[in-house]
Amino acid sequence: MRVEASYQAGQQAVAVDGKESRGAKRGGMPRVHLLGSVVHALRMLVAQQRVENTTTEVRHVASLLEPLPLRDVVITADALQTNVANTLYLRRMKLAHYLLPVRGNQPRLFALLDALPWLTTPVTAATQEHSHGRLETRTLRHLPMPAGHGMVDAARAVLVERSVTEWRGGAWRTRTEAVLSITSLAAHEATPADLLAHVRGHWTVEHTHWLRDVIWREDASLLRTGDNPQLWAAITNLVINMFRLLGVTRFTIKRVL
């Protein structure tokens, strides 16, 4: 099943991810690290919280999401957030769904999913994009979750394979990656095209980080101590959100405070 790259999923989704302000420190402490959440469709940041570092993000997801109305909303995040506590919180406390990748930090679960018969499972959704001189293809397969997974309400295992072909060093080169994920969305709640759109939609939080670093030069800002880095990030997020509301989709001007 081939779907348009611009396809919008039937469910609202929110991406959770952290960003380190590499040039900013709080007094003598390590660099400032901010955990944020971005609405996929709007590409707007709706919550942000300072955390200690990348490894402690997992302890702050609940407090970050607590003020948000998330009933039936799909939460996407990186593999660090794939754990029983988060699936329990999202399903029982927030009545939300999740789509979370599974990597080496969950070795038993990864082995369980990796052993599924993916080679004989048909592709049920695919997208293909050609932009900036490269061809990017994504395919999705899904299967019922195997027994013994331990995650709350996990309904389906998902395999997304991504292939990028581009002209580099005088030749066409292709790189590929495969990511296993779990989701609480049952087949009657989300189509394969919906799942693939959510996977792609998680990129919106990465794009917000890119805007702050490249366009607003956040890491180069001279506001590096105390609460100033977090305040500057909040102002930057507000400006980006305002542009989004006005329909601006391209950002090219680079300025430093």
Residue 99 has pLDDT above 60, yes or no: yes
Mean pLDDT of the region 49-76: 88
8 Å CB contact between 183 and 145: no
Q: What is the pLDDT of residue 257?
A: 45
DSSP 214: I
192 phi/psi in degrees, rounded to 5? -55, -35
Whether 253 is in a domain gets the answer: no
Residue 25 has pLDDT above 50, yes or no: no
Closest CA to 13 of 92, 85, 74, 96: 74
| Beta carbons within 10 angstroms of residue 210's beta carbon | 12
- Look at residue 222 and give its three-state secondary structure: coil
Question: What's the mean per-residue pLDDT of the chain?
Answer: 82
This prediction's pTM: 0.80
**Residues near 37 by Cβ (< 8 Å), separated by ≥ 6?**
14, 15, 16, 45, 46, 47, 48, 64, 65, 68, 205
Whether 8 is in a domain gets the answer: no
* CA angle 170–174–178, rounded 5-degree value: 160
| Higher pLDDT, residue 154 or 234 | 154
Whether 250 is in a domain gets the answer: no
pLDDT digits (tens, 9 = 90+) for 117-128: 999 999 999 999
Domain encompassing residue 159: 13-245
Residue 100 has pLDDT above 90, yes or no: yes
Residue 130 has pLDDT above 80, yes or no: yes
Q: What is the pLDDT of residue 98?
A: 98
pLDDT band at 207 (very low <50, low <70, confident <90, very high): low
pLDDT digits (tens, 9 = 90+) for 131-182: 767 899 999 999 999 999 999 999 999 999 999 999 888 888 999 999 999 9
- Total domains in the fold of the chain: 1
Of 47-56, 238-247, 248-257, the poorest mean pLDDT is in 248-257
Q: What is the pLDDT of residue 8?
A: 86
Residue 252 has pLDDT above 70, yes or no: no
165 phi/psi in degrees, rounded to 5? -115, 125
Here the tokens at position 132 are 């900036």
Whether 104 is in a domain gets the answer: yes
Mean pLDDT of the region 197-215: 70
Closest CA to 159 of 142, 134, 171, 137: 142
Q: What is the pLDDT of residue 24?
A: 44
Q: What is the pLDDT of residue 212?
A: 56
Residue 189 has pLDDT above 90, yes or no: yes
Mean pLDDT of the region 104-119: 96
**Spatial distance between the Cα atoms of 242 and 247, rounded to a whole number of angstroms:** 9
Residue whose token pair is 């769904």? 97
DSSP per-residue codes, 111-157: HHHHTS-GGGSPP-EEEEEEETTEEEEEEEEEEEPPTT---TT--EE
Whole-number CA gyration radius for the chain: 19
Output the domain CATH number for residue 196.
Answer: 3.90.350
Whether 213 is in a domain gets the answer: yes
8 Å CB contact between 34 and 22: no
Q: What is the pLDDT of residue 225?
A: 53
